[in-house]
Every structure is written in C-alpha cells, then in structure tokens.
Structure 1
C-alpha cells in the first residue's frame, strides 16, 4: 500500500512541476523529498553529481561560445544552406536542424531557424507544416545524438558503470537518428493539403497577415573573427572529447597508493569532459572576448540552469523512491518485461512525456534498466524513446513552431493530440529505435 502512495506522490510532483514549467519541476520535487525523507523516513537517495557536473561544464562552454557570437555564426550558415534550395525545404530544413543541434548540443538554436523555415516555405508555396513539424522532431533526434548535449552526457554517466563508452553510444545513435530524420522527412512530403488549397491560409492571405520578417544578425569584422574562432575551438574540443572516449589510453594516468602499494589510476570520462569544457570556456573568454556577464545572462546558460535544477530535483526524488522500493520495483518490472525487454522502451517514452526532458528521463529510468538486468546494448537501442515528449504539444519548440507559422498549417488540433507533430514524431522515433536495434544486433 505504501508503495502506491509513494508512487502517487512521485507522479504528482512530476505533473505539478511540469505544469509550473521552468525550474518548477525541480523545486516541486524538493517538496516530494521532504515528504519522502522527513515524513516517510525513506532513504535520501543521491543526486547524479557527476552527471550534473558534466552538464554544467558543457553548458558553460556553450554559453561562452554564444557570448562570442558562435551560435549566430552557425545559424547564419544554416540560413544560407536552406535558402539555396527553397523547393526542397521539407527535406533540407530537418537535416540542417539536425546537424546544427548535433553540433551545438542544445535545441535553443532552433528558435532562430523556425522563422526562416516558415518564410522560405511560404514563399516557395510549400505547406510550412511539413518542414516546421519535421524540423522540431529532427531537433530532438539531433540532441540525443550530440556528443556534448546534456542528454548524452547523462546517458554516458549512467551507462559508464556497465562499461559503456561515449563512442559506443554515438556509434549506434548517430546513424539511427540521422537515417530516421531522412525517412521522417520523406514521410511528410505530402502531409496535408497543398498550401494554395488550404482554406485557413487563403483566409489569412486575404487579411494580409504575413508581415513577419526575421533578420539574421550580421557579423562583420572583429565580431565575425571572434565568432568563427570560438566555434572552431568549441568543435576542436568536441573532437578531443570523442578521441578520449575512443582511445582511453589518451586520458592521463596518475599514481595511487593503496594500502602501501603503488598503483596507477586514470581520469574517467566524466572528469575529462568537465576539465576540457571548463578550459574551453576560459579560452573563449580570454582569446575571443566572450563577456563573462553576457555568458551568464545568455539564453543557453538560463536554459541550462533550468535543466540542471530540474534534473537535480527529479533524479533525486526518483533515487529516493527507487532505493526505498528497490526489491519490489526490480522484481515487478523484471516480471512484467520477462521475455519482452524491449517493452522498457515504452516506459522511457511515457516517462519522457511526463518529464518533458530527455536528460531527466535518462537519469530517472536508465538506472532502473541496469538494475533489472537489461543489457547495455538494448538500453542504447531504446535510447531514442526518450524523445516522446512531442506527444503532448506543450514543449517550447512545438509552441514556437506553431507561433512562427503564420499560415496556420502548423497547428494543435481540436483533440490536443491530433497536432502537426504527432505523425512525424511517431514515425521518426519508431524508425530510430528500429535502426538502433538492428545496429546493436549486427555489431
């Protein structure tokens, strides 16, 4: 009986926190911890300290690059690529979005792309719903494939205890998500009526409601050089991180004295990522004049802090709940998925709908998967299931896409779940999981 009461409190904290948005999820989880620890005398559990440290270091480097103009530079490149082939915007926009999110490690940059996609689509006579909705889904896929996103960092932190490396995760997820985005883009090529035949667009056209113009920030002279330089340094750091994951021997060793015996230890990936990313942030500030105050006040740092607080609260609450009921949870889930371990992916999908965060879903449920004995390769293959939060059209990127599409073709339906993102989301996520399963099975 107590387990169900505790589960109800856990879910209530998630639902209420999700409704509050922002850091609400993390802070409401704190209230749940008060109940669990001080009233119910449950184990306190533990927050994922290493994961939070890695996320904070990566966010700091990204925020410094943003302050130096690096993100504006990346967006300007994406803008030129999309405008070069306007008639193919439905195929090009999702791929450009995927690559940009993959490279930057944050979905934040899509807010600069969405107005551009909407404008190019409308002027080309292409139904904006197709590239807009698919680009939002592509951003989700690019995020879980990015080697420096908070989600991937969390995944590495959780699965490292099972001997899983960054390169093993990326070797499965990058091809799976990239191919899935291509297939998803083809799947929406004919979705909905053609723009010229859409009655909602026709009515808006008569009313003259198309005055939105999104001007790109023009970088010139010293600003452009600093933006390019910060971008190059950041991507060199990403390459270095990947190399450290592929070749562990590159990570420095240090002497360790245990009970009078001299041995050697090697810095782990978590520590390496934190050191490198903090150093990159410092280098960008010192060499490319990224203003520390602008770095802290930038949108990436703000969204990163929100993610940190949310992950801290939710993962800590989940850890307390899991530790108090470890035996019952492990036995119950093991019995439920016996012979059908892939069903765990449905759990990841459903939890991501509640949490609105891939990283929070990873740190909450992936440890449970390890505890019940699901093989690490299968957990990697099911990783794309954490992108299920498109199911309810309440996430920021979804709402932004609806707002930026003045034609009205990108919309939330009468019954809420019949929205523009449901079909491309289900197709792309399903395909990504299937391809990931094939890769892990073969290799």
Structure 2
C-alpha cells in the first residue's frame, strides 16, 4: 500500500513537471506549485524546504546581468566577439563554440548565445564550412558555460548551504573541476564535428536552396565584412564593472578566509552582485528604469518562479518519502555511484533547467552519501535537455542556419545536437572525475 501511494505521488510530480515544461515560461513554476499543494493538502505530506537561498542568488546575479545589458555592455561584447570570429573563419568550428562558452561563463546565462549564433552561421556559410558543425556544438557549449559559470543559477544552487556548500564544497572547487573539463570536452567535440556530414557545397539541401534562390553564396560572401563596432566608452566601463563583480565572487570563492566569519558564499554572491548592479549603472550612465526591460531580466525572473515551484515540489515529495527512496536507491548508488549522473541527465530532459535539476535531485544524492567531489564531477550531466530539440537555443540555431544543415531528423531525436551533446557530456564528466581524483 505504501509503495503504491509513493508511486501515485511520483506520478503527480512527473505529470506536473511534464505539463509545466510543455507550457514553458513560468509554467514549470506555477504547475510545480500546484503539485506541491496537492502533495501537501491531498496526500498529507509535510512541505519540503523551499529553495529560498537559490532564488535570492539568482535574483542578485540576474540584476547585475540585466544592468550590463541595459548599459549596452552585453552588445559591446557581442560586437567584439563577432570581430574576432570574422578574423578566424577557418577555425569557426572551434572558436564559435568557445566564444559561446566564454560568453555564458561570463554572463551566467545561455541567452547570450542568441547574439552569436547568427554570426557563427553566416561566417561558416561564407567560408563554405558546413554550419551544422559549429552551430550544433555552440548550443551545447552554451549549456556547458552555465555549469562552469560562477554567476549562473545552477552554480548558485550547487554552492548554496542547502546543497554542496553545506558539504564543504566551495565555488573554487567546482570551477577547478568544471572549467577545464568543459573546455577539453568542447575541443574534442569540435574535432569530431569537423568530420560530420557532407561538405557544404556537396550537401543536397544546401544545393536545393541555392537553386531555389533562397541562398546566394556570392552575395553572402560579399556582405560578410569585418564588423565595424562603434566604440562606446560607457558600455566598455560597464563591462569592466561587471567583470569586477564577477572577479570578487571568484576571489571570495577561492579564498574563503577573506569572508567574515559566519558569512556564507551564498550571502556573499547576493551582496556582491546586487551591489555591483549599482556600479554598472553608474559607470554606464544608465537609468535604473532600463534594467528590467531586457530579455535577461525576464528570463531570470522566469527561472526564479520555475525553481520556486518545481524544486519545492521535488523537495516535498522527497522529504515525505525519504526513507523509502533512500532504501531503494542506496544499494544501486553504492555499487555504481555514477548512475546518479544518469538520473541527473534524465531529470534535466524533463525540467529544461540546470538549476531546477540541481535543486530537485542533488539533495537526494547528498542524502545517499555520494562523495561530494563525485557530485561535482557529475555536474555537467544536468545539461541533458539537448536530447529533445525544443530548447530555445536549439530552436534558435535551427532557424539561424539558412543552409538547412542544422536539422531535426524524421524521428525527432535524430537531430544535429545529439552527437556534440553526448560527446561533451561523457568527456566533461570523465575529465571532471579525473580532476577530482587529483583534489581528493
């Protein structure tokens, strides 16, 4: 009877996750909250712990990122990246994804890749490089940037006192593991991607579009000139102000002794990044009224609502059935702890959010006694939402590639993002594990 009841409760959780993910936007949060209500008032479970710490960190970081966007600093960075990529068209499969990765590490959100994807596509096309190669990997690299960023929502969740922060894991430790692991994974995937598919001029779909007049290679090549980026000193100062805030976060993360006694890393991030927003707006000479108007602020608020609902629902289900769940999983995880990475991967497909996946499943991993360093190495597994080609960055890449080489196959799951996604996931976890062996 008890097992049947747990399965029914699990079904409630999965149904509302599925509905919320399909609705999109804040849907994951509001349907997650409805699920929480049903679990508490319908099944009598005690409310789990709401992810307040994580939500506050995200609010602080998104405020600083939105301030950077409002001052034009983000646009300035995109212009500099475009200039760099146009100067190195022959290596677009390497430099394109690495630029996306760097931008997402810096900004803490994959939304910065939207500005780079069309540039990468056009440079590849003009250079007769199959755009699928850099485009598909750039989307994946953007996700890896989130799990390597000191200011991402997912990282905020990881280092919160409720999760790995409470297990003695500092921000510096996660960066030492995830940054090199992600870069190695991207480079290996780029090497493989360079051999994917036919060359652009031999691709049937590309040839069809050229014949139909949908693409004019000569005109595109002529139009692809070196970007003339207008020098905006205010935007540049805003960029340096944002860098200053990120540098402080990294410094306090790597050197915990610099923090006053009793001050957690979560609280430090909240104070530093929210305060940094003031500095960004001041040096960028931008009104605070402009801050909430950009897409970064909107996306960040969506993330906060999503995490509030779905993570609280997951926490309520887990804490209400902790003994049964731990008993069922402990033997399996004790025998093969890396199987927990599979659970992270599958959950991320449903949640479409690294931060939500972390806040939902990592408490289970901690309760099961998995080595915290091993949990750090598994962090890239939360990027599994590439499996279904309906994540916004994937959709954007499909639209920006005018040649049609970046595609979704007949069976939906046979799409351009699968190969680079799985390669980077396996490699980053493997390299991360090797790094943790050196740290232990």
Q: Distance in 2 between matches of 1:418 and 1:53?
A: 38
Report deviation, 1:228: 0.6
Aligned residues of 1:65 and 1:290 also touching (Cα < 8 A): no
Residues 295-353 of structure 1: per-residue CA shift (max 9 Å, x gap): 10111000001111111101000011011101011111112222111110000000000
- SS of 1:341 mapped into structure 2: coil
Q: Distance in 2 between matches of 1:241 and 1:442?
A: 24
Do structure 1's residue 32 and structure 2's residue 28 form an aligned pair? no
- SS of 2:415 mapped into structure 1: coil
Aligned residues of 1:156 and 1:165 also touching (Cα < 8 A): yes
Do structure 1's residue 206 and structure 2's residue 211 form an aligned pair? yes
Q: Distance in 1 between matches of 2:282 and 2:121?
A: 38
Q: Distance in 2 between matches of 1:239 and 1:124?
A: 37
Aligned counterpart, 2:349: 353
Aligned residues of 1:78 and 1:100 also touching (Cα < 8 A): no
Do structure 1's residue 6 and structure 2's residue 6 form an aligned pair? no
Among residues 246, 250, 267, which one is paired with 1:238 in the alignment? Answer: 246
Among residues 296, 299, 303, which one is paired with 2:295 in the alignment? Answer: 299
Among residues 117, 137, 141, which one is paired with 2:140 in the alignment? Answer: 137
User: TM-score, normalising length from structure 1?
Assistant: 0.94
> 1:42-53 to 2 correspondence within 5 Å?
42-53=45-56
Aligned residues of 2:389 and 2:395 also touching (Cα < 8 A): yes
Do structure 1's residue 309 and structure 2's residue 298 form an aligned pair? no
My pick for the range that moved more, 302-311 or 205-214, is: 205-214
Do structure 1's residue 185 and structure 2's residue 193 form an aligned pair? no
My pick for the range that moved more, 286-295 or 55-64, is: 286-295
- SS of 1:122 mapped into structure 2: helix
1:14–1:217 CA distance, 2 compared to 1 (3 A): farther
Report deviation, 1:67: 0.2
> 1:21-420 to 2 correspondence within 5 Å?
21-157=24-160, 158-210=163-215, 220=230, 224-252=232-260, 265-420=261-416
Q: Distance in 1 between matches of 2:383 and 2:282?
A: 37
Report deviation, 1:268: 1.1
Aligned counterpart, 1:441: 437
Aligned counterpart, 1:258: none
Residues 207-232 of structure 1: per-residue CA shift (max 9 Å, x gap): 221379899997646xx111111110
RMSD: 1.6
- SS of 2:338 mapped into structure 1: helix
- Count, aligned residues: 429
Q: Distance in 2 between matches of 1:269 and 1:191?
A: 43
Aligned residues of 2:83 and 2:227 also touching (Cα < 8 A): no
My pick for the range that moved more, 87-96 or 342-351, is: 87-96
Aligned residues of 2:81 and 2:99 also touching (Cα < 8 A): yes
Residues 49-71 of structure 1: per-residue CA shift (max 9 Å, x gap): 11110111000000001000110
Aligned residues of 1:351 and 1:361 also touching (Cα < 8 A): yes
Q: Distance in 2 between matches of 1:216 and 1:15?
A: 45
Residues 114-165 of structure 1: per-residue CA shift (max 9 Å, x gap): 1111111111000000000011011111111011111111111120110110
Aligned counterpart, 1:257: none
Q: Distance in 2 between matches of 1:433 and 1:220?
A: 41
User: TM-score, normalising length from structure 2?
Assistant: 0.95
Residues 47-103 of structure 1: per-residue CA shift (max 9 Å, x gap): 111111011100000000100011001111110111011121111111111111111
Gaps of 5+ in 1: 253-264
Gaps of 5+ in 2: none
- SS of 1:338 mapped into structure 2: helix
